[in-house]
Amino acid sequence: MSPFDYIGNVPFDIGVLSSIFPQNKHINEKARALENAGKIIRLKKGMYVASSQETGKPLSHELIANHIYGPSYVGREYALRYYGLIPERVYTLTSVTIKHSRDFENPTGNYTYQNCSPEYYHIGLRIAQADGVNFVIASPEKALCDVINFSKNLNLRFLTDVEVYLEEDIRFDTDELASLDLEELKACARVSRKRNSINTLIKYIEHVRHI
């Protein structure tokens, strides 16, 4: 039985490692030995996750992203891909935070965090479950707003701009526009740095719905 069985695939800090090995007075050296043995993976200074080989459980990259730098939520293209709304694979896990923008790289992948206002941050967050853990992710509406909000030099002025952007630039599944919550999109628009572009998106959705 592994000493990490009760932790599973949840990231943990050096203090938790001390509680697992209370007899070890040199816990940082113990951490390096466990890392070299492939039993744990270093996510950043002082934060680790047990390897899948050690626990028999798959790593949750979304939960790892929540833990590495927070408060944060999984958003942007990664969330759109998670919901099956865009076809391309996303190799960098993109998150949004109220803290400073940061990038992290570790053996589990690449993680990027982009700053937003607290007012924008708290709209459209969901708790999703996968691989036996819960993590915070943007709703489909919020993720789409994220992509627009953080795209430099993007200005959606006309309905035709939105159509081209959705169908050609990000290849969004436009059949799903009918299920998007307009009120949530409007809430994002009110506090977004790309208010006009998101409002044009809303007008486009209303147009295709014949509202």
Tens of pLDDT, residue by residue over 56-115, are: 999 999 999 999 999 999 999 999 999 999 999 999 999 999 999 999 999 999 999 999
Asked whether residue 34 falls in the same domain as residue 101, the answer is no
Residue 6 located in a structural domain: no
Domain match, 47 and 22 both: yes
Helical H segments across 100-194, by residue range: 118-121, 140-149, 159-164, 182-190
Q: Could you tell me if 45 and 95 lie in one domain?
A: no
Residue 120 lies in a domain: yes
Taking 80 as the threshold, does the pLDDT of residue 211 lie above it?
no
Domain residues for 26? 12-56
Q: Is residue 34 part of a domain?
A: yes
User: What is the total count of domains within the chain?
Assistant: 2
Residues 69 and 111 in one domain: yes
Q: Is residue 1 part of a domain?
A: no
- Mean pLDDT of the 181-207 span: 97
Residue that is last in its domain, among 41, 56, 71? 56
Same-domain check for residues 125 and 176 = yes
Whether residue 75 sits in one domain with residue 150 = yes
**Runs of H (alpha helix) within 37-89:** 52-55, 61-68, 76-82
Q: Are strands 72-74 and 92-97 parallel, antiparallel or unpaired?
A: antiparallel
Which residues, in sequence order, are CB contacts of 62 under 8 Å at separation 6+?
Answer: 74, 82, 93, 128, 130, 135, 137
Q: Do 37 and 115 fall into the same domain?
A: no
Burial of 60 (0-12, 13-18, 19+ CB in 10 A): buried
Same domain for 150 and 178, yes or no, is yes
Domain match, 26 and 97 both: no
d(Cα 73, Cα 62) in Å, to the nearest integer?
Answer: 9
Asked if residue 66 and residue 51 are part of one domain, the reply reads no
* pLDDT above 90 for 24: no
The per-residue pLDDT for 30 is: 92
Q: Is residue 82 one of the residues assigned to a domain?
A: yes
> Based on the domain organization, do 113 and 79 belong to the same domain?
yes
Q: Residue 93: its pLDDT value, please?
A: 97
User: For residue range 130-151, what is the model confidence (pLDDT) as tens digits?
Assistant: 888 999 999 999 999 999 999 9
Domain contains 183: yes
Q: Is residue 49 located within the same domain as residue 80?
A: no
Average model confidence (pLDDT) across the chain: 95
Q: Using CB atoms within 10 A of its CB, is residue 23 exposed (0-12), middle (13-18) or buried (19+)?
A: exposed
Q: Is residue 79 part of a domain?
A: yes
Establish if 4 belongs to a structural domain: no
- Kindly report the pTM of this predicted structure: 0.93
Q: Parallel, antiparallel, or unpaired for β 133-138 and 109-115?
A: unpaired
Name the DSSP class of 21. Answer: S
